[in-house]
Amino acid sequence: MLIRNWFFVISFFYSFLVFSQDDQSQFYNNLNFHLLDVSSGLSHNFINDIEQDSLGFIWVATYDGLNRYDGKTFKQFKKHLQNPSKGIANNYVQEIEVSGNDLFIATDAGLNKYDLRSGDFELLNDQNGLYNNSVSAIEILPDDYLVIGTYRGGLQVAHD
């Protein structure tokens, strides 16, 4: 009885592995790679984070700005010197996080919130509630709690 049970278990896992390998080879044979870099319109070739929003856009955080890719072209978002509400707080983007219609952007000058529908930027920094401007990590928890990790400033939890 014990030998039959072991035989069944081994047969099951073997069939799973064989099926899995066939699936993998079919998957790998259908992969096509394309290089997207500065010559394609990306603001910088050092990538810190990649996210996809609910509208299908791919967002790329780089050393020199935030980029939105629509499948064909990039749109760059950078620090806007004349009107800070028209751009990100700092061009060095550490991380991005999507929550509903909002994109949260972690920079060295604070946390930006970008409304995907209206295109408006808001800034959370040490002048309006953030303990440290150098935001290095963000995570959105259930019930819209936002956990913000700062460089040498610890964690801060906020409710959106």
Give the pLDDT confidence of 46-64 residue by residue, as tens digits.
Answer: 999 999 999 999 999 999 9
Per-residue confidence band for 8, with pLDDT thresholds at 50, 70 and 90: low
Per-residue confidence band for 16, with pLDDT thresholds at 50, 70 and 90: low
Residue 6 pLDDT exceeds 60:
no
pLDDT for residue 22: 59
Mean pLDDT of the region 23-44: 83
What global pTM score does this model have?
0.79
Per-residue confidence band for 158, with pLDDT thresholds at 50, 70 and 90: confident
Residue 123, both tokens: 């800034």
More confident residue, 102 or 3: 102
Nearest residue to 66 (alpha-carbon basis) of 18, 98, 34: 98
Beta-strand ranges (E) seen in 34-144 are 47-52, 58-62, 65-69, 74-77, 93-99, 102-107, 110-115, 121-124, 135-141
Radius of gyration of the chain measured on its C-alpha atoms: 22
CA 50 centroid distance within chain: 4
Residue 42, both tokens: 């990306």
Q: Check residue 49 and report its DSSP letter.
A: E
Residue 131 pLDDT exceeds 60:
yes
Nearest residue to 43 (alpha-carbon basis) of 115, 89, 85, 93: 93
